[in-house]
Amino acid sequence: MAGAAVAAVKPGWVGDKRAIVNSPANITDPLVLFMPSGKRGRFPVGTPVLDAARQLGVYVESVCGGRATCGRCQIEVQEGNFAKHKIVSSNDHITPKGAKEERYERVRGLPERRRLSCSAQILGDLVIDVPQDTVINAQTIRKDADTRVIARDAAIRMCYVEIEEPDMHKPLGDLDRLKIALMHDWGLKSLDFDFYLLPQVQGILRKGNWTATAAIYKDADTETARVVALWPGLKNEAYGLACDIGSTTIAMHLVSLLSGRVAASSGTSNPQIRFGEDLMSRVSYVMMNPDGREGMTVAVREAISGLVDKVCAEGNVQRNDILDSVFVGNPIMHHLFLGIDPTELGGAPFALAVSGAVHIKASDIGLKLNQGARLYMLPCIAGHVGADAAAVTLSEGPHRQDEMMLIVDVGTNAEIVLGNRARVVAASSPTGPAFEGAEISGGQRAAPGAIERVRIDPDTLEPKYRVIGSELWSDEPGFLDSVQATGVTGICGSGIIEVVAEMYLAGIISEDGVIDGGLAARSPRVTANGRTFSYVLKEGEPKITITQTDVRAIQLAKAALYAGTKLLMEKQNTEHVDRIHFAGAFGSFIDPKYAMVLGLIPDCDLDKVSAVGNAAGAGARMALLNRGYRREIEDTVSKIEKIETALEPKFQEHFVYAMALPNKVDPFPKLSAAVKLPPRKTVSEDGVAGDAAPRRRSREGHAARRGRE
């Protein structure tokens, strides 16, 4: 009752409900603080803790509808004087365990100090902890790269009900009585059933002795809720998939829809690589082969099915328990996964068959999960900026903040997003596969034995390196023993970026990317290779060299990315960015300093450049666990402005300037303050060095240069 407090009289008991009587109404309602969310509010004495949590928007799971049978709503009372919050909290400020809660503890067990919030009622001021350390009680899912709390409101809800048994005097069908129970207990007034369930309803209800758990699917608030799965008795878990279909790799997470826990994660190479290394080559394959689209669709779906097997085995979960899924990918992966011909994406105007969010049954594409499982794909931003970029945007949230944030997802087709809460723009740049080891003489994909870190002594030009699988540098004792199992087999993307940047810092290559043949007299590491020169990174077998062609491939890739970024900066009318996030698996291994030395990204405070891991996968998990995030990204994507780099007249100009290291005209004052850049010099294509004017580092110098041109 409103305004009630603990009375000075002996309370009565009615089952698990405590009747508070003769309570003076002029005493302030108890103050309840929920942790770790920090949400607080005042509630009348006798309010169930679960009801208080729901009123405040604190997520506490409950499948059984407050019957104290599922055990998901566990909470813990913190005892003591919390002066900061002006609360004295005690277990005496919550009702003792009643019959239902005692029965649950006796049959299922409760950890020490834990209570069921559906049965426990508020008697006084409380600090309530919603435990994060168990599967049942986990309230949040945490991103790999940070600790932000993500609220959950999944499209799938598990609802336990007790159904009235058949009665000859009440000729309602079993399905109708199930509907009535769901309406009465869970407020589901408008309800449909998946057709496949109709022949099963009677058997399920009788097997459960007239109790059942229904999986209710409702994505948008405006749509009718649907029963998509039904189990006899209490069903205490449901799972979903969050999957990022990359052109090179596919990453999948198996997630509890009720707790947010990531039960298992796995990844695999995208088998479409055998049809083409990059995206355009796969489109070409479809154009040239009548069955090309079908072959690639089958390949990626089989790979995804294999990943489902892996995560289910790791998480000890049955496929039938998977009820929802969220998939993201670039536009071509998006289309091929859905069985759509991507040919139109191979040329202007790069028309998408479908750009908005996709809502289908998982079985529509042959994905064998629960028969009623749903599948959601985030919207694509544009023809070459896909649902994966939308997921990254959702995860990192440039549209939620004031800083000008640049997000770069480096891959065979780099996707770039730049903006803040006022405006967000996006573009793609065809970087090609050089950053992933392709088109590089000693390049390989990231695997044990691949060089991933490089340092070059500017005086001796001698290198040292680290390889995947060893923590030792090549000049440290024990290095050879540590790599004996794998050997040193090649150089991967992060190593390629570092070796080219280090060659520039050591003066081995000029700002135009030409290897200085004059250094061959100083070091045997610089060797003639026909009319050009190479740098020997590793002697022996295999011999790993960085050729002039390798340097050019990296220059072309980084120039395409930088030129795309520069166009977005011009559209935003800004000359700087406040923060840079590298997304994607590859981005996690890029050293920000070397990325900036190379000119892969614009000038920025190095401590504000960070890797955010598989942000597309994180965005997919957010959309899986919270319907609100689906609406947020659908609205955000509708407002993002897509810049088509191929149609921008200044792209070529920016591209030419960006071929230089770090850039021909753009100043890098913040980088210069953190890293000693080499004196500017030119080297002819045949490797002969010459003098050059000092590098211009000011806006005025840039303007003067542009004016002369």
Which pLDDT does position 242 carry in this prediction?
Answer: 95
Rounded to whole angstroms, the Cα distance separating 350 from 333 reads 14
User: Which residue carries 């649902």 as its tokens?
Assistant: 387
Which pLDDT does position 709 carry in this prediction?
Answer: 37
User: Which residue carries 């993201």 as its tokens?
Assistant: 328
Quick one: 78 exposed, middle or buried, by C-beta within 10 A (0-12, 13-18, 19+)? middle
Give whole-number Cα distances, 301 to 64, 553, 584, in Å. Answer: 36, 33, 21
Strands 225-232 and 211-217: antiparallel
Whether 435 and 582 have beta carbons less than 8 Å apart is answered as no
Q: Which residue has the higher pLDDT, 23 or 49?
A: 49
Is the pLDDT reported for residue 547 higher than 80?
yes
Which pLDDT does position 57 carry in this prediction?
Answer: 65
What is the number of residues in the chain? 709
**Which residue, among 321, 412, 312, has the nearest Cα to 369 in the 3D structure?**
321
DSSP 443: B
Residue 468 token pair: 């995947």
* Helix (H/G/I), strand (E/B), else coil: 200: helix
DSSP 16: T
Q: What is the mean pLDDT of the chain?
A: 86
Is the pLDDT reported for residue 546 higher than 60?
yes
Q: Which residue has the higher pLDDT, 329 or 64?
A: 329
Give percent of the chain above pLDDT 70. Answer: 89
Ramachandran assignment for 210, one of left (phi > 0), alpha (psi -120 to 50 degrees), beta (any other): left
Which pLDDT does position 543 carry in this prediction?
Answer: 92
Is the pLDDT reported for residue 83 higher than 80?
no
Which pLDDT does position 221 carry in this prediction?
Answer: 80
Residue 188 token pair: 């589901």
Is the pLDDT reported for residue 699 higher than 60?
no
Cβ partners under 8 Å of residue 641, min gap 6: 423, 424, 425, 426, 571
Which pLDDT does position 97 carry in this prediction?
Answer: 94
Is the pLDDT reported for residue 30 higher than 80?
yes
User: Any alpha helices (H) in 548-626, and if so which ranges?
Assistant: 548-571, 584-587, 592-598, 615-625
Tell me the one-letter amino acid at 427.
Answer: A
In this prediction, residue 518 has a pLDDT band, given cuts at 50, 70 and 90, of very high
Ramachandran assignment for 552, one of left (phi > 0), alpha (psi -120 to 50 degrees), beta (any other): alpha
Which pLDDT does position 686 carry in this prediction?
Answer: 64
pLDDT in tens, 611-640: 888 889 999 999 999 999 999 999 999 999
Whether 432 and 557 have beta carbons less than 8 Å apart is answered as yes
Which pLDDT does position 132 carry in this prediction?
Answer: 53
Mean pLDDT confidence for 82-110? 89
User: Which residue carries 């407020």 as its tokens?
Assistant: 187
Q: Which residues of 400-439 are buried (b: 16+ CB within 10 A; e: fewer)?
A: eeeebbbbbbbbbbbbbbbbbeebbbbbbbbbbbbbbbbb
Cβ partners under 8 Å of residue 325, min gap 6: 240, 241, 242, 243, 362, 367, 369, 373, 374, 375, 376, 624
Task: Choose the weakest-confidence range: 274-288, 296-310, 521-535, 556-570.
Answer: 274-288
Whether 128 and 160 have beta carbons less than 8 Å apart is answered as no
Whether 694 and 654 have beta carbons less than 8 Å apart is answered as no
355 CB-side CA count, 13 A: 14
Q: Which residue has the higher pLDDT, 187 or 64?
A: 187
Longest alpha-carbon distance in the chain: 104
The pTM for the full model equals 0.80
Whether 191 and 225 have beta carbons less than 8 Å apart is answered as yes
Radius of gyration of the CA atoms of the chain, in A: 30
Cβ partners under 8 Å of residue 478, min gap 6: 472
Q: Which residue has the higher pLDDT, 101 or 273?
A: 101
Rounded to whole angstroms, the Cα distance separating 85 from 127 reads 9
Which pLDDT does position 158 carry in this prediction?
Answer: 95
Which pLDDT does position 375 carry in this prediction?
Answer: 98
Whether 50 and 41 have beta carbons less than 8 Å apart is answered as no
pLDDT in tens, 303-358: 999 999 999 999 999 999 999 999 999 999 999 999 999 999 888 788 999 999 99
Mean pLDDT confidence for 478-495? 91
Whether 358 and 416 have beta carbons less than 8 Å apart is answered as no
Task: Choose the weakest-confidence range: 111-120, 304-313, 586-595.
Answer: 586-595
Query: CB under 8 Å, gap of 24 or more: what pairs does 292-299 form?
Result: 293/336, 293/339, 293/340, 293/341, 293/342, 294/339, 296/272, 296/336, 297/336, 297/337, 297/339, 299/271, 299/272, 299/274, 299/275
DSSP 131: -
DSSP 381: -
Rounded to whole angstroms, the Cα distance separating 30 from 169 reads 48
Which pLDDT does position 441 carry in this prediction?
Answer: 86
Is the pLDDT reported for residue 368 higher than 60?
yes
Which pLDDT does position 84 carry in this prediction?
Answer: 64
Is the pLDDT reported for residue 107 higher than 90?
no
Cβ partners under 8 Å of residue 223, min gap 6: none
pLDDT in tens, 443-478: 877 778 889 999 999 999 999 999 999 999 999 999
Q: Which residue has the higher pLDDT, 9 or 294?
A: 294
Which pLDDT does position 122 carry in this prediction?
Answer: 96
Task: Choose the weakest-confidence range: 117-131, 365-379, 581-595.
Answer: 581-595
In this prediction, residue 26 has a pLDDT band, given cuts at 50, 70 and 90, of very low
Rounded to whole angstroms, the Cα distance separating 211 from 204 reads 9
User: Which residue carries 């995206």 as its tokens?
Assistant: 279
Strands 579-583 and 405-409: parallel
Task: Choose the weakest-confidence range: 35-39, 76-80, 108-112, 592-596.
Answer: 35-39
**Which residue, among 547, 551, 569, 561, has the nearest Cα to 511 in the 3D structure?**
551
